[in-house]
Chains A and B, each alone.
Chain A
Amino acid sequence: MAPVIEARALTKMYGDTIAVDHVTLSVEKGALFGLLGPNGSGKTTMIKVLTGQTRQSAGSATVLGIDVEHDPIGVREHVGIIPEQETPPSFLTATEYLDFVGAIRKIPDVQKKADGWFDLLEFDDQRDVLCKDLSRGTRQKLMFTQAFLHRPSLALIDEPLINFDPIMQRKVKDFLIGYVKEGNTIFISTHILDIAEEICSEFAILNRGTLLFTGTVAELKARDQHLDDFFLSLVRADRHV
């Protein structure tokens, strides 16, 4: 079966800066894939290219079998995305924003679906507040809801837990693990290694735009190695090259 995400020598330049440098990578259906790397290593850029939010400079990628360069809208139609900077439209309320997303994505019964999320993420009392006036964490909850409203078979999430309190983190982790068990795929980027080690099945390490390693968490555990030690040794070694 074809991989859900397949990148071949994917490269993205911003002027002279190489944000992503010839990354070749594939993610299979049912994986909870973690893209790890220090600040500025190209994680966000990678997600942006894979979701057609920005065009690659070289190489190619398919997501759910769709070429991201030729049909970025097609990709975005099928996947769920939570961007790094959560920016729901400012002058709609939380409910209205979900109605808006529902209208764009042509989702029937949006509000019924949204209700479940308001309950799960505990922000029902905020539903009529303007997005502008929501707290960061609540905005992140809203972005979570937005991404899963159409139950995508693949979701790409940039730093999923960064604005959540510990209780919410637990809930979201459980949700993600459960979602993958249903046969969906999740691609997250993070530099919080504990989270990756806890929930991810596979991971890749990116440093200065290049892929240093791909493997499974199970492999690492079999070798009795901790992800953070492994990560630090790899990144440090790369720094000295």
Chain B
Amino acid sequence: MFELFTNMMREEWRVHSTLFGSLSFALYPVMIFVIAFMGSFVLPFFAAGIPPGYPSIIIHAIFLLLGIMVGGFGLMGREVMNRRFGQASLLAYSARSLPITERHIFVVFVIKDTVYYLILCVLPFVFGFTVASPFLHIPLALPLLLFLTLTLAFLTGLALIFFLSTVYARSKHVFILLCICGILAGTTLYLSHSLTPVSLFPPLQLFYLFSWETLLVACAVILIPSVIAAMLFTTEFADTTRKYKPLFTSLARRLSFFPYPPLATKDLLDLERSGSFVGQVLFSFLIPLCLLWFLLSILTRILPAVSILLVFSILTGVIAAMMYTWLTMLDTFNTYSCLPISVPTLLSGKISSFTALQLIPAIFIAIVSIAAGGLAYLVPALVICLSVSFYTLGVTCWLTGLSPNVLIYDAKVLVSWFVLVVIALFAIIVLIVINPFYTLASSALFLPAWGFVKLSYAKWNTREQPGF
């Protein structure tokens, strides 16, 4: 088991480091370190306006979210075993010919991914904070504790989604039942006011007051769902030959309002048939955002409701921009390399499919605005969400072309992405503070978005497309 694990780690490292050169890839954690280090110095400024305790809630929430965003292993099913990087034959795939079970490989795969994210994101972040702490007169024990609790927060999110996505893959009915139970329990707790969110989240509780019992509970909350998920995991469905009546031509005719109907049709069929559409909407969009809404609503005591709604619109926009990766994930450029189709055409095809998908965040944010009683702010909320989403898309296209899932691991790319996106978000936050209706000006972001897309056409047209 351990040998397979080390080989998978080594392979993961090689896949990434050969793509960007070892240095650029090794710099990735360094960049996160620097971001955390610098961020620590900003903290006191915020702390002045925020009641004590809130920064720690926010940081834990971020790591919980990170775990949630990467934990959808159950959705991958046979895709894990098949190919994550196009034709690059992965160990997870080739290990099939070894005398070990698929479940075994899958478990190793999940552990590998988890460790990988820990090393790449969690560790450098905490380390950055640790190094900054002496300058901020924070006792050194705090970062150490933080390391433990942030790791636990990350793993909690990961385990939760790992569990839910596996249940989802096994039985939609059980999944819906679980969700209803979860929502009911959540509302009851929320209405009864007897429990604070902190007491529901062991890692945070541990952060406030360390005790061995709490640590045990925190670990159990991670381990139990993970073990159940690993046991539920199945590759049974991998053995069927799937057949469909031809849909392409009729669908393409109905999608003729798209600039490139065949590309849009292919995107739609890919999303639908890979089973990733509903799964992605749930696990990469709705669940993280609902959780985020819950966390933000804790802040009502310090922020006006309008600001919270609009900040939430910003975050929804950023997460909505990730839909671009749903579209690029299922494709490799190899597919198109023998056809007379250029990279700019492919990019604009993906962008138009992306535009269609933006209906989801638009409807979502409209519902949230109305539910939150902010009907007056429906238009600003929508404008913010969509302009942030398209702006982020433009940046992503320009920096990563058709392979965002892979190229984002390049340190230079990550930092550029981060800087470009944060500048825009910061500008909108300033507008929110001045006057919520000024945020309508965020529609100006469509202009740079358009510019980045144009730049991306020129940039990726001349680059060699990697075969993943």
Contact = CB atoms under 8 A, between A and B. Distances in A.
A220 interface: no
Given A87-B87, A129-B242, A104 B341 contact: yes
B335 interface: yes
A83 interface: yes
Nearest to B462: A55
Interface residues of A, number: 36
Contact of A90 (B240, B330, B338): B330
Contact of B270 (A89, A127, A128, A129): A89
Interface string B243-274: 11111110010000000011001100110011
Nearest to A146: B338
A220 to B, nearest CB: 31
A146 B336 CA distance: 12
B342 A73 contact: yes
Given A91-B274, A129-B243, A101 B339 contact: yes
A87 B249 CA distance: 21
Interface string B369-395: 000000000000000000000000000
Interface residues of B, number: 34
A103 B245 CA distance: 18
B94 to A, nearest CB: 16
Interface string B321-334: 00000000011101
Contacts of B273: 91, 130
Given A73-B341, A89-B335, A147-B338, A100 B266 contact: yes
A82 to B, nearest CB: 7
Name the residue among B240, B244, B247 with the largest chain A CB count within 10 angstroms: B244
B248 A92 contact: yes
A81 interface: yes
Given A85-B334, A91-B269, A99 B261 contact: no
A130 B266 contact: no
A103 B338 contact: no
A169 to B, nearest CB: 22
B340 interface: yes
A97 to B, nearest CB: 8
Contacts of B261: 103
B245 A128 contact: yes
A96 B242 contact: no
Interface of B: 86-87, 240-249, 252, 261-262, 265-266, 269-270, 273-274, 330-332, 334-335, 337-342, 462, 464
- Nearest 7 A/B pairs, CB to CB: A103-B262, A96-B248, A81-B338, A77-B340, A76-B340, A99-B248, A91-B273
25 contacts: A53-B337, A55-B462, A55-B464, A76-B338, A83-B334, A83-B337, A85-B87, A85-B334, A87-B332, A89-B266, A89-B331, A89-B335, A90-B330, A91-B269, A92-B248, A92-B266, A95-B248, A96-B246, A99-B248, A103-B252, A103-B261, A104-B339, A104-B341, A128-B246, A130-B241
Interface of A: 51, 53-55, 73-74, 76-77, 81-83, 85, 87-93, 95-96, 99-101, 103-105, 127-130, 132-133, 143, 146-147
Given A81-B338, A85-B334, 19 more contacts: A53-B338, A73-B340, A77-B340, A83-B334, A83-B338, A87-B335, A88-B335, A89-B335, A90-B330, A91-B270, A96-B248, A103-B249, A104-B340, A128-B243, A128-B245, A130-B242, A133-B240, A133-B242, A146-B338
